[in-house]
Structure 1
Amino acid sequence: MLNSRTPQHDLRTPIPRRADLRAAVSPRHHAMLSAHLTVRDRWIARMVAEHRVLTSTQITEIAFPSRRAANLRLHQLFRWRVLDRFQPYIGRGRAPMFYVLDAAGAHMLAYEDGMDPAALRFRPERSLGISHSHRLAHLHGVNSFFTPFIHHARSNPAAHLDAWWPETRCTRHFGDLVRPDAYGRWREDRRGIEWFLEWDTGHYQLARLAAKLHDYARLTSATKIVTPVLMCFASPRREAHARSILAAALRDLPRPDEVPVATSNAVLIDQQHTAAAAVWLPIDGHVPGRLRLSELASAWPHLAPPTGAASDDAESGDPVRLRPPPAMPPWDQTAELTWRKQPTDPR
């Protein structure tokens, strides 16, 4: 026992560190992964690479039948260095694990796309650097907006999330005109809608957010495609305050009907468990109450059916890009999402 009389020589040898159970990234390790990674594993790695960070809760929603199944497989992917993880301090309670792409996962995706992994310039420490970013809460909020769509569609054959673009991909395609927080396209009960998302954490100046409506008007003029803008605010009170500012900004536009706007708030969405529910209130839409996401198009009769967004960055002229994953899991849900015994660790 350590006490005030402990001699110096007892303190000379440090306690040996626990053996690192994570695999070393090597050609042999990549060969092993090719035999043990499932379609779901590869899709999860692509989703994490595309959206930078996903929590264990979000990954459970989009890819697993239970939290236990998700944790067991995610731990295995962590040991194989397909994913890395961190757990932020939240002050009260306990945060879930946040997963980012690791070296073996980046190499695996590059090889699948016929790319030289060195061209990606992937650095694990940069991937984990998101843990210190001041935009982590914003990024987590945007991802939490979309993952319930996939969870809802897994149990509803009439629903499907056709597209989910993060801010980085939106910037590559539209950044010279406007920078949305995300882009999505949703189908439910034979009705579809596409939208740009603006996610408000409560710290963004509402005047700056309203000014972005002019940028969206420029995008509509350039593309000749009218795309609704959905704005989600941190609280009902902030949403109510923002609606008056947004309405005034819309009236200042030459053609306000080219920028349809609907608002909601994170509290209401959390209560309904999904943004596909009746949580959206159009601005100047002349509707009696909040609408489901699939019903929003009825508030704007001039909207054209959703267009098919580009599925990759082939038109961007930048070959050093991993192809994006499908927004929905690409496997047969009934067969693949059923929990089964995980492959044994070959080491």
Structure 2
Amino acid sequence: MDDPVLRVQSQMTARDRVLLGWLYDHGVLTSFQIAHALFPSLDFCQRRLRTLYRLRLVGRFRPQRADGGSYPYHYVIDQLGAEVVAAGRDERPPRRDHARVERRRWTSSRALEHRLGVNGFFADLAGYARTHPEARLGEWLSESACQRSGMFTRPEDPGLVRAYQPRVRPDGYGLWLVRGVEVPIFVEFDTGGEQLSVLTRKLVGYRELFVRLGRAWPVLFWLHSAARERNLRLLLAEMPPLVPVATGARDHATTAGLCPAEAVWAVAGGDGQRLTLADLTVVDDRDRAGEVAA
């Protein structure tokens, strides 16, 4: 009996497999995000996406703009693509309606803008790494993956800690590597719709997580505007330093032609100097975790 998963394997590239894995894990990406992250040109990307669409590996939809016209194609995993990813990971095959449910989830979701923003953050890092051989996005975890019990613990950690399930809900986790330097990061993507006090309260959950792990990593607030970043920094200055925090503003980065990998980050409690992502120091020792707990 013909197995469609086996049949399509020979027509896939390593880059196709990366893309399918991203769509399976992170839900939705636009054609522009995919092109920037993985391809040398938009035209090349669009041709390949059309091929993957014809092979039934990816699905797509195109939201309409309120003021007329439409957005670029948004890509999601198709059923065969989901089965290919599961087979490659030696996981149980997805449900037969997996792709249909996922497509409906994003075509009708009010959370689409937020998810595209989070995914765009990591796509920008991948795009930077594509053109800078010294850099690499070593890991990218979704919000749901961050909730898995024991996700951020080490093999030598006690069983109680390995079983710990964090209460905090990061929008994403990444491991950024530049010239041998590792920077694990948690990302909070801000659309401007929440009160700033809601953002600062999230730091309590991060503090609990870092105390449990014996490690503290930067929490990045990627904010809607420079004005909102200034106001958040004023609020953070009035608080004890619960965890390492850095802030950046998307409008400032766009105006300066910079991406999240570059000098757009200011450390909370610092002098406001803008640092690159690789400049953010990694805190990974038991003593510093004790300071966080104090």
Is the shorter-chain TM-score for this pair beyond 0.5, marking a shared fold? yes
Counterparts in 2 of 1:113-132, with a 5 A limit?
113-117=89-93, 120=95, 122-129=97-104, 130-132=106-108
Unaligned runs of 5+ in 2: 153-164, 286-294
Distance in 1, matches of 2:184 and 2:92, equals 34
Partner of 2:166 in structure 1?
Answer: 176
Distance in 2, matches of 1:215 and 1:110, equals 32
Identity value in percent: 35
Judged with a 3 Å threshold, the aligned counterparts in structure 2 of structure 1 residues 288 and 36 are, in CA distance, closer, same or farther, namely closer
Offset, 1:105: 0.6
Offset, 1:114: 3.2
Deviation per CA, 1:134-187, whole angstroms, max 9, x where unpaired? 111011001111112111112212111112111111122475321111111212
Counterparts in 2 of 1:1-347, with a 5 A limit?
27-92=2-67, 94-117=70-93, 120=95, 122-129=97-104, 130-172=106-148, 173=151, 176-248=166-238, 250-251=239-240, 256=241, 259-271=243-255, 272-285=257-270, 287=271, 289-297=273-281, 303-304=283-284
Deviation per CA, 1:211-242, whole angstroms, max 9, x where unpaired? 11111111111111011111011011111111
Larger Rg, first or second structure (1 or 2): 1
Distance in 2, matches of 1:247 and 1:171, equals 29
Distance in 1, matches of 2:175 and 2:230, equals 26
Offset, 1:280: 0.7
Partner of 2:288 in structure 1?
Answer: none
* Paired residues of 1:278 and 1:293 also in contact (CA < 8 A): yes
Judged with a 3 Å threshold, the aligned counterparts in structure 2 of structure 1 residues 113 and 282 are, in CA distance, closer, same or farther, namely closer
Letter in 2 for 1:293: L
The residue matched to 2:147 in structure 1 has which SS? helix
Letter in 1 for 2:77: L
Task: Please report the RMSD computed on the Cα atoms of aligned residues, expressed in angstroms.
Answer: 2.1
Offset, 1:40: 1.8
Judged with a 3 Å threshold, the aligned counterparts in structure 2 of structure 1 residues 188 and 35 are, in CA distance, closer, same or farther, namely closer
Judged with a 3 Å threshold, the aligned counterparts in structure 2 of structure 1 residues 134 and 304 are, in CA distance, closer, same or farther, namely same
Deviation per CA, 1:301-325, whole angstroms, max 9, x where unpaired? xx238xxxxxxxxxxxxxxxxxxxx
Letter in 2 for 1:110: A
Distance in 2, matches of 1:288 and 1:179, equals 27
Unaligned runs of 5+ in 1: 1-25, 306-347
Letter in 1 for 2:181: R
After TM superposition, the score normalised by the length of structure 1 is 0.72
Distance in 2, matches of 1:260 and 1:224, equals 14
The residue matched to 1:231 in structure 2 has which SS? strand
The residue matched to 1:176 in structure 2 has which SS? coil
* Paired residues of 1:191 and 1:295 also in contact (CA < 8 A): no
Deviation per CA, 1:94-152, whole angstroms, max 9, x where unpaired? 4111110111111222222334425x464222111211111110110011111121111
Higher relative contact order (CA 8 A, sep 6+): 1
After TM superposition, the score normalised by the length of structure 2 is 0.84
The count of aligned residue pairs is 268
Partner of 2:157 in structure 1?
Answer: none
Judged with a 3 Å threshold, the aligned counterparts in structure 2 of structure 1 residues 189 and 38 are, in CA distance, closer, same or farther, namely closer
Offset, 1:91: 2.7
Letter in 2 for 1:205: Q
Partner of 2:155 in structure 1?
Answer: none
Judged with a 3 Å threshold, the aligned counterparts in structure 2 of structure 1 residues 209 and 75 are, in CA distance, closer, same or farther, namely same
Letter in 1 for 2:244: P
Judged with a 3 Å threshold, the aligned counterparts in structure 2 of structure 1 residues 43 and 180 are, in CA distance, closer, same or farther, namely same
Judged with a 3 Å threshold, the aligned counterparts in structure 2 of structure 1 residues 116 and 75 are, in CA distance, closer, same or farther, namely same
The residue matched to 2:174 in structure 1 has which SS? strand
Offset, 1:291: 1.2
Distance in 2, matches of 1:288 and 1:37, equals 46
